[in-house]
Structure 1
Amino acid sequence: MSRIRRVAAASLLLPTLAASAGQSVLVLDASGSMWGRLDGRTKIELAREAVDGMLQSWPQDETLGLVVYGHRRKGDCTDIETLLAPDNADRDALQAQVRQLTPKGMTPITASVRAAAQALKFTEQKATVILVSDGEETCNADPCALGAELEDLGVDFTANVIGFDLPEGRAREQLQCLARSTGGRYLEARDAAELSEALGEVAAAPTPTPAPTAASAAIDAPAEVEAASRLEFGAKGPVGPRHWIGFAAAGAPDADYISGHYTRPLAAEGQVTLDVPGTPGDYEIRYVLDEGTQVAARHAIKVVPPATTVDGPATVMAGDRVQLTASGPVGDTHWIGFAPAGESAGAYITGSYIRPQGAQTTAMVNTPKTPGSYEYRYVLYESQEIAARKPVTVTEASAELEGPATSAPSTPVEIAFRGPRGEGNWIGFIPVGGDGGEYVGWSYVPDQGDSLTIEAPAETGAFELAYVVDSRVIARRRIEIAPLPGAPSTETAP
């Protein structure tokens, strides 16, 4: 069942996404986060394919420009480029540009949408921006405020927004507000199929919107449900491309929503599955016609805190790995892990998503690399609500190394060790007195076992075996690299 999430536009009769007049610009996210994976493939790969599909159904009489951000430089909020002007009618050229993108940098959403609007001459003519983003604004700007500004200054400006694999919280709120404030629509895609579907709607030829008519609907759901769970319930009513069913806060405007989907994919028996909000409180399930023109049915429901636990050792070593156990809701956007003590639900250091494993979840999680006071956390929808927490103290990392006092050049050296096994920790050869940036040969610390083998340096002389965590040497042991009897010597290392 499709689970594209949307927020309705402010106007009563929404335009279709592809305008029948004026020009459009696609603003595409090519920031570093687009290297993230969904179902084993990178998001940038999936975006390329979805754009290809969109162009196949894009109206022949409609032009489409292209603005991209984050594709050239890391850490640069000015990395925004108009690759194709709004009057572009060359589908092949646009496809070629998208296929060449290499994600690298920041997420300057606000400045990119502004650049697209200016390229469209939005103060002089009808203009539409289609934004695809997988993250929140990272360049100290407010997409929501920009939307209100463009709506006020533009002749007929619309921003239609697709949130791609977007977590609950600030990122989603920013993009929903950008769309809503311009009379546009927010669509959410959580996987490759939904991204293709969303972009397909962008390319859909305009169709007239019929005036709303009185309709009846019914919702058969419980009075109470646990937060962050998935609720399956019965619903009956009209099925259409712009009717939706979902959760909204009690007393919120009729067009508002928190989670939901359109009624087109409703099964014949009228069964619906929705993600329950992560924050306990009073809500409604609404059956809404034409994205807000009429609520055909509503059902009051209380969202109660879920039964959740998270547990691990009271004290752990910095830079190590620890097994956490947890119980509670499972899902791709709930996680357990470490966060600084007392900080907001969005604070995060290391963790693991809660994958379905039955009544209890176990996960190996990297510990923080800096000693101090932290919390184990069970967080719903990545940053919406802390469902469970437990204090934990992270102590200074320490290690021991055992190995031969001497070795021949370029020969295997077996090393026994004890120490933290966190991701990125390594053991290797360094110059005497050197640091973690002066390695000669090395190997990552394995997850299992208490020994490993590393090839000795080719040069003769004095070296040290080093145990390195976060570029810091936490243990070292001197070793002499000497030639075998009768072998020619090499230059000695300092």
Structure 2
Amino acid sequence: MGFVYLHRIVVTLCVLLLAGVMSVAAQAQVQADGEDAILILDASGSMWGQIEGTAKIEIAKTVLDGLLDDLPASSRLGLMAYGHNKKGDCSDIEMLSPVGANRDDIKAAVKGISPKGKTPISTSVKMAAEKLKYTENKATVILISDGIETCNFDPCALGKQLEKDGVDFTAHVIGFDIVDQKTEEQLQCLASSTGGRYLSAANAGELSLALGTAIIKQVDVGPASLRLKATVLEGGPEIQSGLKWQVIQSGGGDIVFEGDDKGSVTQSVPSGVYDIFVTRSSDGLKGAAKLVKIPPGAEQAVTIALNPEFPASVTPYREQVSVGTDFSVQWEGPNRKSDFITITQPDAPARGYTSYAYTNNGNPLKLTAPTTVGDYEVRYVLANPHKVLARTPMKVVEFDTSISAKDTAEAGEHINVEWVGPNTKGDYITVTKSDAKPRAYLAYIYTQKNTSPQKLVMPVESGEYELRYVFVGPAKNARSDSHKVIAMQPIIIIEAAITLDGPAQADTGAILQIPWTGPGRKRDFITVTALDASPRSYTNYSYGHQGSPAEIRMPVTPGDYELRYVQQGVHETDKVAARRPIKIVQSVATIAGPRTAKVGSEISVEWSGPAPAAGDFITITAPDAAERSYKDYAYTKNGSPAKIEMPVEPGTYELRFVQNNKKVIARQMIVVEDISVSLDAPESGKVGATISVGFMGPVAKGDWITVVPKDARAKKYNDYFYPRNGSPGALDLPKQAGDYEIRYVLDGERVVARIPISVTE
């Protein structure tokens, strides 16, 4: 019905339920200090039912979480549930938390409840009463239930028996989303026969009703100011006169104010909790606000909206309509916020709907007929509270629908499918197993977005299937009126003729040309993978539409593998349509370079091995480094020898031939030796002056000489020159006096020589 409306309904129900539970728990506390109570939560399977898209059990859990936070610390509460462990078992009743349990433990117990079974109301209430020793002590049980007793007992008779046998036994009952009159009467009887209250948490229109909070004890701790006004409808004009007001302490207490022939009223009242009633003299229209909490010294305003009857009508342009087709409706009515026009079953509750449109979207409005033939009615529904203001009968008849394609197709084939149908939003053409549910689908096409005919991808597994036209329905959350198959055609899927060729053996990392025959469709691919790999698994691959032969690179780890032609399924498991075993053996490679080299120098490394391929390279790294590790490197595609620059730190390293960025297939140890470098420069100089710096030692491309503070990191520099340009070089001294040092930095990373210099003014 729209997110805002749905949110308001769910929040309203949560507030109603919380108010009901808290007010009942408050009564249990007020009746006698130290009195214990047990809360019984219905966890039968029906609690998975939804209220405007939210499961009732989730609403109840949220409410109970808030209840436990808000109850006074002195309140002693226990938790019992039924129907949460087994299906069809009337003995499935469990005391989840004893009376007086820690609130966090009760919260955890509530959170773990998952509805499954039956509704043993009578047995659970009797068990709770016995836990409270109701024949010896005052005892209060609070029951939250959304359905009727299903275990062949009479809750009404039980209530009378408990009232007779108990010292002072009371059962308060909250009927949660009860729509059946017989169920409500049964729960009401259980409550009333014990002197308790029956509270409805499903009637969103009774938001202002006092759900038991009338029994909260009044506390007079000082006066407050109360301003009362009434409006015609929520947010409408204020009624200026002719109102009779009455302010009563909640729970049947004293009348603290009465006023006749008034409009708005400002009145001083004691602080407390009040029920406020108003009646319009001209037509007897009534309104109320309950549980109005007025703190000491507060200036509180209360506005009550009076809701008169409204003339309304709905006039469809046709007396009958085909399933799933759109039709227009002319309407008259109050056009309040969230009022809507809908088509639904004649016996549906006021808030029932299939297709709908808000009245504020214009006149006439367009609706979509349900997918099931039958007698319906078009309604004008007042949104708050839900009330049918006008209704007109409407007959829904069959629509002429069809779907057609060839009777047999290859696995994975793209075939033409033609259809005739309502083409409403969400409708689709699909292919699926003959015995699949109406909501099942593999590949699909939306009918509204595409004109007939269209290409549809067939399943990759052979067998008997159906082409279907699926009507989604105007109410996607109404299971009885959505996802209906309104046309179908059987189709047989046969295996596609596919072959795959290739050698029985290949070297690691080799690039092979793999011939194949088959449909070569866009989603098909050729790959090499482990024998036991899943159908969707792959290493290197080539798509079928790229043609034969497929260029595939072999794995870099020796072992037994298989070449595969894989047909990718749409919403189904991929299928290996052809396979061929292949043994991968280690490719032979060599690497040869000097056994020693100087830090930062460049060396030549000879190598031999498999044909150069992407990701193959020669590098130098630590002997214990991971196989993917590298420092300087050269791709094998650039030929042999490879030019490799040595690290700047001396030590033992390893030259490596790495295949496909993954595996070392040849290696050689190399010792990288340190170098000796000397610097020659004046001991001091003036700020900003240019000095001459001489040096001796090997020179590499990335080396530099610079002047920096003594504590500067190795990569820090101010003015600098490259040694490769010859000795001596010129340096500009810093413009701030101080102690510095001249450095020779190897490859921009390591300081291999340094001398101090004093910079003066």
Contact 2:49 2:55 (C-alpha < 8 Å) held by counterparts: yes
Alpha-carbon offset, residue 467 of structure 1: 3.1
Q: Structure 2 vs 1, CA of residues 269 and 26 (structure 1 numbering), >3 Å: closer, same or farther?
A: closer
Work out whether 1:264 is the aligned partner of 2:288: no
Alignment of 1:59-138 (within 5 A): 59-72=72-85, 76=88, 78=90, 80-84=92-96, 86-104=98-116, 109=121, 112-133=124-145, 135-137=146-148
Alignment of 1:4-403 (within 5 A): 16-18=27-29, 20-31=33-44, 34-35=47-48, 43-72=56-85, 76=88, 78=90, 80-84=92-96, 86-104=98-116, 109=121, 112-133=124-145, 135-137=146-148, 139=150, 147-162=159-174, 178-185=190-197, 212-213=253-254, 215-218=256-259, 238=269, 241-246=272-277, 260-264=289-293, 268=299, 270-274=301-305, 276=307, 304=309, 306-309=311-314, 311=316, 313-318=318-323, 328=333, 336-340=342-346, 343=347, 346=349, 350-351=353-354, 357=360, 362=365, 364=367, 367=370, 369=372, 371-378=373-380, 386-403=388-405
SS of the residue aligned with 1:263?
A: strand
Q: Is the 8 A contact 1:350 1:368 kept in 2?
A: no
Question: Which amino acid in 2 is paired with 1:372?
Answer: G
Match of 1:409 in 2: 411
Shift of 1:156: 1.4
Indicate the larger mover: 51-60 or 438-447. 438-447
Contact 1:312 1:325 in 2 (8 A): yes
Structure 2 CA distance for partners of 1:15 and 1:262, relative to 1, 3 Å: closer
Secondary structure of the 1:48 match is helix
Instruction: Give distance in 1, aligned partners of 2:339 and 2:86.
Output: 29
Q: What letter matches 2:312 in structure 1?
A: A
User: Which amino acid counterpart does residue 138 of structure 2 have in structure 1?
Assistant: K
Q: Deviations over 1:74-100 (max 9, x none)?
A: 6x4837522326535233332111111
Q: Matched residues in 2 for 1:444 and 1:109: separation?
A: 49
Q: Amino acid of the residue matched to residue 195 of structure 2? A: G
Amino acid at match of 1:156: D
The Cα offsets for residues 265-306 of structure 1, whole Å up to 9 and x where unpaired, read as 799574423474xxxxxxxxxxxxxxxxxxxxxxxxxx5454
The answer to whether the 8 Å contact 1:375/1:389 transfers is yes
* Gaps in structure 2 of 5+ consecutive residues: 1-7, 221-248, 472-482, 499-516, 520-564, 566-574, 578-761
Structure 1 residue 71 displacement after superposition: 3.2
What displacement does 1:159 show?
A: 2.7
One-letter amino acid of the structure 1 residue matched with residue 518 of structure 2: A
1: CA distance, partners of 2:337 / 2:417: 41
| Partners of 1:382 and 1:95 in 2: CA distance | 33
Alpha-carbon contact 1:337-1:352 (below 8 Å) kept = yes
1:26 positional shift:
1.1
State the percentage of identical aligned residues.
32
State whether residues 167 and 382 of structure 1, in contact with CA within 8 Å, keep that contact through their aligned partners in structure 2.
Answer: no
Cα drift, residue 339 of structure 1: 1.2
CA contact (8 A) 1:80 1:112 kept: no
**Shift of the alpha carbon at 1:30?**
3.3
Q: Equivalent residue for 2:228?
A: none
Q: 1:398 to 1:359 in 2, by over 3 A?
A: closer
Structure 1 Cα separation of the partners of residues 155 and 356 of structure 2? 28
Look up the SS of the partner of 2:171 in the other structure: strand
Sort the Cα spacing of 1:318 and 1:43 in 2 relative to 1 into closer, same or farther, 3 A.
same
CA contact (8 A) 1:52 1:95 kept: yes
Deviation readout 1:414-455 (Å, 9 max, x if unpaired)? 544332568997643356xx4555978354866655467643
Q: 1:83 to 1:21 in 2, by over 3 A?
A: same
Given that residues 327 and 361 in structure 1 are in contact (C-alpha distance below 8 angstroms), is that contact kept between their aligned partners in structure 2? no
Residues 335, 380 of structure 1: 8 Å contact kept: no
Letter in 1 for 2:257: S
Give the match's secondary structure for 2:256. Answer: coil
**Could you state the TM-score of these two structures normalised by the residue count of structure 2?**
0.44
Q: SS of the counterpart of 2:257?
A: coil
CA gap 1:245/1:428 in 2 versus in 1, 3 angstroms: same
> What's the secondary structure of 1:457's corresponding residue?
coil
CA contact (8 A) 2:218 2:272 kept: no
C-alpha distance in 1 between matches for 2:364 and 2:28: 42
Displacement of 1:128 = 1.1
Q: Deviations over 1:355-414 (max 9, x none)?
A: 673676957556152x33332334568998643221222223542224466644224555
Does the CA contact (< 8 Å) of 2:219 and 2:271 recur in 1? Answer: no
- Per-residue CA deviations over 1:13-52 (Å, capped at 9, x if unaligned) read x972435344211122334565567798655444334323
Cα gap change, 1:78/1:449 in structure 2, threshold over 3 Å: closer, same or farther?
Answer: farther
Q: Tell me if structure 1 keeps the 8 A contact 2:466–2:488.
A: no
The structure, 1 or 2, with the larger RCO (C-alpha pairs under 8 Å, 6+ apart) is 1
Larger radius of gyration: 2
Q: Distance in 2 between the 1:426 and 1:72 partners?
A: 39
Distance in 1 separating the partners of 2:311 and 2:84:
41
Is 2:28–2:36's contact at 8 Å kept on the other side of the alignment? no
Partner of 1:283: none
Call closer, same or farther: CA 1:147–1:202 in 2, change over 3 Å.
Answer: farther
Of 141-150 and 16-25, deviating more is 141-150
Work out whether residues 328 and 364 of structure 2, in 8 Å CA contact, stay in contact via their aligned partners in 1.
no
Query: Could you list the runs of 5+ residues in structure 1 that have no partner in the other structure?
Result: 223-232, 251-256, 277-302
Tell me which residue corresponds to 1:441. 442
Q: 1:90 to 1:440 in 2, by over 3 A?
A: closer
After superposition, the Cα gap between the structure-2 partners of 1:416 and 1:472, relative to the gap in structure 1 and judged at 3 Å, is: closer
Matching residue within 487, 493, 497 for 1:474: 487
Letter in structure 2 aligned against 1:243: Y
Q: 1:415 to 1:337 in 2, by over 3 A?
A: same
Return the letter of the residue paired with 1:130: I
- Could you list the per-position Cα deviations for residues 158-215 of structure 1 after superposition, in whole angstroms to 9, with x for gaps in the alignment? 23344556679777776566545533345566799x99xx999799899799995453
Superposition deviation, residue 217 in structure 1: 2.4
Q: Against the structure 1 CA distance between its residues 158 and 221, is the aligned structure 2 distance closer, same or farther, given a 3 Å change threshold?
A: farther
What SS does structure 2 have at the residue aligned with 1:216?
A: strand
